[in-house]
């Protein structure tokens, strides 16, 4: 598998999409110490490093429980199953997410379906969700059924895309009204915050749904040195089910209450994450400063739409994504000047070959489709320098 990232640290002339080398070099001694202590006890699976990280990350997300698992994809599957989503249930999400969101739904035998996003944020449009639930579904014996599919609608997975929180209040209101399970896909949103009018307080991503899934893929705001993920929740019973599922459905070794699989977080990754979590607030602050500078320098460029940030969100700035009608030409212009950019994501899920059977053609989700052709992710990361943001912005200004 090739890496999606450009691992080179910053140089004067080239701007990498994400510099993963520098943060690890800065923490090298502490990271090596994690290996040393794991070697001393050969405690590679479970144990105090996993529990320590779980405690720390639960605190960070302001949730009662965190369960470390093998990846963000595992976290989504465990959260959905443990929350009670089962085979044949419809789970509604958005088409412009990473495929792991819908894979997790399909793999447990449930049926993914989509509602469109807001053009301004690329996040789930609560009004579109309301229309879906009111116009396309009907209540039958206390449950909400999709009229055409004749299957119960059981859950919603809002995705905090690019680290920008979804407008959760109206979605949680609809979920309460129709008895839907809300699982947040917080895989891009470590530390993002949303002001909840319902609760009159700022809420961390991962603390708003029944449960949430996080990924610690190396390129995420908090990344392991390998694969890792976590489920966060306030529900002790749900947490206990995830703990069991991640370990082959056993609470006691070789006594299996249910079938699960091996979806554990290993001790070395947990120890590494514990070290890196201490730096996350500072890293997120750096990202936010870079985002503010991009917005200052690009906000008045004709032809460019900078990410909108309403006063009720504090994004984690996993990605800084602009929109323009001349996306492909701009991307080439930047690449020719040594600036690496990305597309998140080039093809909405309903138009992917893997979902051809859904029969959702072009035009099904106009906002998600328009975004796919206009989005461009600019270099972003905790070690991105001011001069690099200025250089990228200047190249963009000159292009327009």
Ligand X SMILES: *Cc1c(COP(=O)(O)O)cnc(C)c1O
Number of neighbours of residue 325 by Cβ within 10 angstroms: 13
Nearer to ligand X, 215 or 393 (CB): 215
CA distance 328 to 25: 34
**Residue 141, C-beta contacts closer than 8 angstroms, at least 6 positions apart:** none
CB 229 within 8 A of CB 73: yes
Least separation, in Å, of the C-beta of 269 and ligand X? 11
Nearer to ligand X, 144 or 213 (CB): 213
CA distance 150 to 137: 9
Least separation, in Å, of the C-beta of 212 and ligand X? 11
Least separation, in Å, of the C-beta of 188 and ligand X? 5
Nearer to ligand X, 184 or 369 (CB): 184
Q: Which residue is nearest to ligand X (CB)?
A: 72
Nearer to ligand X, 97 or 383 (CB): 97
Least separation, in Å, of the C-beta of 3 and ligand X? 12
Report residue 249 CA to chain centroid gap: 26
Least separation, in Å, of the C-beta of 220 and ligand X? 6
Burial pattern 268-279, b for ≥16 Cβ within 10 A else e, equals bbbbbbbebbeb
Interface residues with ligand X (CB under 6 A) are 71-73, 97-98, 100-101, 159, 185, 187-188, 215, 217, 229
Nearer to ligand X, 166 or 172 (CB): 166
Least separation, in Å, of the C-beta of 352 and ligand X? 15
Nearer to ligand X, 132 or 345 (CB): 345
Nearer to ligand X, 215 or 383 (CB): 215
Least separation, in Å, of the C-beta of 318 and ligand X? 8
């Amino acid at each position: 598998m090739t890496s999606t990232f450009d691992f080179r640290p910053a140089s004067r002339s080239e701007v990498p999409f994400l510099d993963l080398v520098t943060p690890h070099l800065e923490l090298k001694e502490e990271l090596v110490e994690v290996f040393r202590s794991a070697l001393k006890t050969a405690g590679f699976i479970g144990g105090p490093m996993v529990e320590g990280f779980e405690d720390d990350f639960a605190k960070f997300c302001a949730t009662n429980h965190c369960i470390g698992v093998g990846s963000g994809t595992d976290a989504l599957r465990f959260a959905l199953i443990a929350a009670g989503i089962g085979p044949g249930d419809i789970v509604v999400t958005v088409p412009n997410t990473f495929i792991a969101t819908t894979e997790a739904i399909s793999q447990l035998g449930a049926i993914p379906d989509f509602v469109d996003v807001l053009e301004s944020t690329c996040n789930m449009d609560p009004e579109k969700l309301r229309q879906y639930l009111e116009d396309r579904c009907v209540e039958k014996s206390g449950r909400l059924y999709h009229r055409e599919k004749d299957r119960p609608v059981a859950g919603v997975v809002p995705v905090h895309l690019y680290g920008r929180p979804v407008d959760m209040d109206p979605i949680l209101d609809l979920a309460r009204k129709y008895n839907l399970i809300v699982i947040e896909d917080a895989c891009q949103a470590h530390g993002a915050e949303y002001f909840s009018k319902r609760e009159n307080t700022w809420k961390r991503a991962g603390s708003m749904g029944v449960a949430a899934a996080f990924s610690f893929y190396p390129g995420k705001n908090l990344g392991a040195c390998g694969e890792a993920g976590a489920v966060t929740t306030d529900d002790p019973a749900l947490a206990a089910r995830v703990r069991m599922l991640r370990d082959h459905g056993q609470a006691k070794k070789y006594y299996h209450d249910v079938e699960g699989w091996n979806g554990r977080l290993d001790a070395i990754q947990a120890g590494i994450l514990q070290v890196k979590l201490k730096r996350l607030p500072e890293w997120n602050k750096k990202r936010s400063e870079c985002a503010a500078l991009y917005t200052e320098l690009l906000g008045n460029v004709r032809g460019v739409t900078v990410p909108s940030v309403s006063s009720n969100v504090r994004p984690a700035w996993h990605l800084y994504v602009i929109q323009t009608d001349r996306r492909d030409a701009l991307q080439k212009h930047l690449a020719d000047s040594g600036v690496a950019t990305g597309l998140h994501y080039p093809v909405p899920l309903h138009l992917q070959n893997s979902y051809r059977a859904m029969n959702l053609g072009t035009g099904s989700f106009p906002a998600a489709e328009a975004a796919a052709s206009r989005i461009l992710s600019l270099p972003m990361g905790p070690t991105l320098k001011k001069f690099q943001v200025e250089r990228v912005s200047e190249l963009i200004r000159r292009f327009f």
